[in-house]
Homo-oligomer: A and B are copies of this chain.
Amino acid sequence: MASPTMLCVTLGLLVLVQSCFAQLEQMPRQQFRPERQREMRSQQNECQLERITAQEPSRRFESEAGFTEIFNENDEQFRCAGVAVLRHTIQQRGLLLPSYSNTPKLVYVEQGRGFHGAAFPGCPETFQSSRSQAAGEQHRGFSRDEHQKVRQIREGDVVALPAGVADWFYNEGNTPLVLVQFLDTGNAANQLDQDFRKFFLAGNPQREFQSQRGQFEREGGRSLRRQTPGGPQQTYRNVFSGFDEQFLAEAFNIDTQLASRLRNEDDRRGIIVRAEHELRFVGPQFSREESEALEREESERERGSRGGRFMNGFEETFCSARLRHNMNDPSGADLFNPRAGRLKTVNSFDLPILRFLQFSAKKVFLYRYNTEFFGFLTCNQNAMMTPNWNKNAHSICYVTRGSGRVQIVSDNGQTVFDQEVRQGQVFTVPQNFAVVKRAGDEGFEYFSFKTNDHAEINQLAGRVSVFRAIPEEVLSNAFQISREEARRLKFNREEVTLFSPSQFGRV
């Protein structure tokens, strides 16, 4: 540490004094209601979690208009957290075919823009087209289409969906549409086993898509493909292919030739297909500003009536529920510290369906500063997230930009993770394990999926820290330090959650 360092510290300190009052408070409020009821994630107490490593996708397979990557669902962190992570990259005019799965899911739109449609059973088709159609299509009295709501999605959005509800995505932009899916296999809504299962309504999914967890466990932990009775040449098909063609014809009241198209038997396009023409959907044409205003309004309405709506479980329905929320909009941040970063949480207060789905999410932006002094002296000052532990949830973190250093500590004080993580990697912070994160030199942004709809952290340092709650005398005896030192532990860091560089940090 040379003298420029000292200078940085001193100058930085001046800035700190002014900025540390400029932040919002984050006072997570605990709720008096039964915590999420969750499956024990492990059989036979196998989740010792003595070593966690950052993961990149372990399988990738191509479709006509994009590709899909799967993070190894048998890695201990995912098995124990009961979550599987997938990433779809959908090219221009690509359509991710309609499917449903045995798990509720949260989809994070990492990049691009497009449309999302979900088919809720029993809900009306509320979007009705009055556009004139090609003349040849007017016969049979169906001159217009009708369907359930189609949502516009864009970078930074999350989309939440219950188990067993079919949905599809379409890329309407000029860049790839990248979707990171968190499948909550350990959710109580999943009454099947810990495999994620995707049931496609069209297309012929690649065999590689199938979850390998069940097969992995049956093989005693060796990672092999599931051998289904039909042998290796057997394909993984859409659900119609298992029904008799004659049954389908009768059920749909169509001829068997069309019924056979439902089975898509010779389709080799995979699960992401290219639309023949650009798709346009029925719906009001809003500008982005209008959409956002509308969304805010809906959200407030929903919030206003929440007491009645989401607690009694009887009167209200999914049919008009919002499924989408944006995590990137700086003006929507829950916590902002100009010298450290910002943070956005989405839980059932923002998106009420999450109360039903019993998970939530957070996006954190940790800044990195290059402060120049006198035009030539540059100080690298990286922000950090307070050391903390998740009180009631696992946290599955996906790095969306930059890099950061992360340490995770288990109950016996062991460092189970100490790694520089970078964009596209995933790591899990198990419930109660202590964690600290610090931005790398390009800053650090990550999205984290939490297995509780009101996930809470306990902070070890800062203005709302656990030490603030404990009397000085207890701390001084616990650590064998003086009262004055105990006071420094309690009061030296006035920021909340996101910390600007300290005079004592590495610069």
- Give bound CA distance, A117 to B356, whole Å: 34
The residue that A142 contacts in the complex, of B229, B230, B491, with Cβ under 8 A, is B491
Q: How near does chain B come to A167, taking the closest CB pair, in angstroms?
A: 9
| Number of residues on chain A facing chain B (CB within 8 A) | 206
| Interface residue? A68 (CB, 8 A) | no
The residue that A279 contacts in the complex, of B147, B166, B192, B473, with Cβ under 8 A, is B473
Q: Are B492 and A253 in contact (CB under 8 A)?
A: yes
Q: How many copies does the complex hold?
A: 3
Residues of B within 8 A of A316 (CB): 31-32
Q: Are A30 and B137 in contact (CB under 8 A)?
A: no
The residue that A470 contacts in the complex, of B98, B226, B387, B414, with Cβ under 8 A, is B98
Q: How near does chain B come to A71, taking the closest CB pair, in angstroms?
A: 18
Within 8 A of B (CB), among A231-290: 235-244, 246-256, 258-259, 261-262, 264, 267, 273, 275-277, 279-282
Q: How near does chain B come to A373, taking the closest CB pair, in angstroms?
A: 20
Q: Are A30 and B505 in contact (CB under 8 A)?
A: no
Q: How near does chain B come to A30, taking the closest CB pair, in angstroms?
A: 4
- Give bound CA distance, A417 to B31, whole Å: 41
Q: Are A438 and B258 in contact (CB under 8 A)?
A: no
- Give bound CA distance, A407 to B95, whole Å: 29
What is the interface of chain A mostly: helix, strand, loop, or mixed? loop
Residues of B within 8 A of A503 (CB): 253
Q: Are A431 and B119 in contact (CB under 8 A)?
A: no
Q: Are A38 and B413 in contact (CB under 8 A)?
A: no
Q: How near does chain B come to A349, taking the closest CB pair, in angstroms?
A: 8
A45-B213, A316-B31, A468-B125 are contacts. A504–B117 as well, Cβ < 8 Å? Answer: no
- Give bound CA distance, A107 to B284, whole Å: 51
| Interface residue? A389 (CB, 8 A) | yes
